[in-house]
Amino acid sequence: MKVLVVGGGGREHAIIKKLKQNPQIDRIYALPGNGGIAMDAECVDIKATDLDGIVRFAVEKGISYAVVTPDDPLVLGAVDRLEEKGIPCFGPRKNAAVIEGSKAFAKDFMLRHGIPTAAYRIFTEVEKALAYVRTAPLPLVVKADGLALGKGVVISQTREEAVQAVEGAMCLHAFGSSGDTVVIEEFLSGPEVSVLAFTDGETIVPMMSSMDHKRAGDGDTGLNTGGMGTVAPNPFYTADIAERCMETIFLPTVRGMKAEGREFRGCLYFGLMLTKDGPKVIEYNCRFGDPETQVVLALMESDLFDVMRAVTEGRLKDASVRFSDQHAACVIMASKGYPLAYEKGFEINVPEDVMPWTLFAGAKQKDGHLYTSGGRVLGVTAVAGTLKEALNEAYARTERVSFDNAFYRSDIGQRALQATEE
Ligand code: AMP
Ligand code: GLY
């Protein structure tokens, strides 16, 4: 079978490596992939947002199955377009991907279905948004409605910051048209948990929980990034909490989407905050998280392709979705300066025994060598019997990978480790 994977980051590299374990797949194409993914799949220079190009390629090559993982092609309707040509896909259709594509939709949806989330207001007029932030209780969280590469959320401690955030999104168009509508919500606190779940629109099967580290610097300082490292499982996510999330969040979400004619098939990502008043949804994503996928798939024992097809064909309730009881850690190595400006083009050196544990994001190949080409360059993963061992091993491997201008956080997993030792 020929499988196509749309995307080109560490998440797609993790998915491709896992798909390769299925003997029915003889060829995987990555669109566009990257220089590191090229070691595991055939990379084709078609952008993930070029829906015409993707569909043309899939038809020409006789693709049997397509996996669409990045947010923008999903929100643009890549799955609908491929399905029109009779190609089965993993990923939600456009009318379901809106759960990530519009935060205003997601918030109103949660309100309609009684799903716990932060209290909020939605504004399409800047004057009204400004009037609100001048009096609402601080801190305030200002979010651009649409996709913004993980950068559309500003937590404002002061009124000046909140005013700036509103003006940045609505007047200066910092996030393009994504900021024409803003969601302003109450600030919540508590440990954060990422739960990715397979769903075929009816059945929902959560994967192993994980913890992302979104800030660029140690001690959760610096700017928000796409994610600087992950651990799984997340020690704050106990069996009791998991059960409560299933009842109050996961099932109502899947049922609510179906009832609204927006059946969701694919991977639904729940960004949760465990507040004093119970678990609440911080965000939905319509896809696998990055770098959560790197640790979650490292622990997945079942065959990913079998599960994906069960999702597509609406028979998830009969599928086997098993995870090992080990621990996984992933450290992201980035280019210094990320998430703002950074230099690239530096040679990447990965020892041979670390290569199987390395998943590439911003890497280019030239004359058989790998060079940095993005902010997040690669992720190094480890799996072990305890979180501490997984972290030690991941860092020991990371220290042996080198490229000029590299940086990584040195405290991935420390908060999780403290929680397990308390
Ligand atoms: P999002 O892109 O919606 O996941 O937001 C990015 C990050 O901002 C989250 O991972 C949280 O750490 C933080 N955040 C978002 N919404 C809230 C909120 N209502 N209260 C506190 N922190 C928040
Ligand atoms: N790691 C968070 C995300 O994928 O959005």
Domains of the chain: which residue ranges?
2-93, 119-186, 192-318, 327-421
Q: Fill in the amino acid letter for 372.
A: T
Which residue puts its alpha carbon closest to atom 4 of ligand 2? 289
Assess contact for 384 and 393: CB atoms under 8 A: yes
Look at the domain 192-318 and name its fold: D-amino Acid Aminotransferase; Chain A, domain 1 (3.30.470)
Which residue puts its alpha carbon closest to atom 2 of ligand 2? 289
For residue 381, name the pLDDT band (cuts at 50, 70, 90).
very high
Which residue puts its alpha carbon closest to atom 5 of ligand 2? 289
Angle at 198 between CA 290 and CA 273, to 5 degrees: 60
How far is the centre of ligand 1, averaged over its atoms, from the C-alpha of 356 (Å)? 33
Closest ligand 1 atom to 152 CA = 2
Is a pLDDT exceeding 90 seen at residue 41? yes
Is residue 39 helix, strand or coil? helix
Is a pLDDT exceeding 80 seen at residue 384? yes
Look at the domain 327-421 and name its fold: Glycinamide Ribonucleotide Synthetase; Chain A, domain 4 (3.90.600)
Whether 192-318 and 327-421 share one fold: the answer is no
Question: Which of 117, 154, 274, 282, when mutated, tests ligand 1's pocket best, judged by the most ligand atoms within 8 Å of its CB?
Answer: 282
- In the 8-state DSSP scheme, what is residue 352? T
Q: pTM of the full predicted structure?
A: 0.96
pLDDT digits (tens, 9 = 90+) for 240-280: 999 999 999 999 999 999 999 999 999 999 999 999 999 99
Q: Fill in the amino acid letter for 246.
A: M
Q: Is the CB of 278 under 6 A from ligand 2?
A: no
CATH class of domain segment(s) 119-186: alpha beta
Region 2-93: CATH code: 3.40.50.20
Distance in angstroms (rounded) separating the CA atoms of residues 42 and 191: 40
Q: Is the CB of 71 under 6 A from ligand 2?
A: no
Is residue 317 helix, strand or coil? helix
Q: What average pLDDT does this structure show over 363-388?
A: 97
Ligand index nearest the alpha carbon of residue 288: 2
**CA distances (Å), origin 202, targets 22, 250, 314, 350:** 25, 11, 8, 43
Is a pLDDT exceeding 90 seen at residue 174? no
Distance in angstroms (rounded) separating the CA atoms of residues 320 and 304: 10
| Tokens linked to 403 | 């490229």
Closest ligand 1 atom to 189 CA = 21
pLDDT digits (tens, 9 = 90+) for 88-128: 999 999 999 999 999 999 999 999 999 999 999 999 999 99
How far is the centre of ligand 2, averaged over its atoms, from the C-alpha of 209 (Å)? 13
How far is the centre of ligand 1, averaged over its atoms, from the C-alpha of 313 (Å)? 34
Is a pLDDT exceeding 90 seen at residue 237? yes
Q: Which residues line ligand 1 (CB under 6 A)?
A: 118, 141, 150, 153, 155, 185, 187-188, 192, 214, 224, 271, 282-283
Q: What average pLDDT does this structure show over 303-326?
A: 98
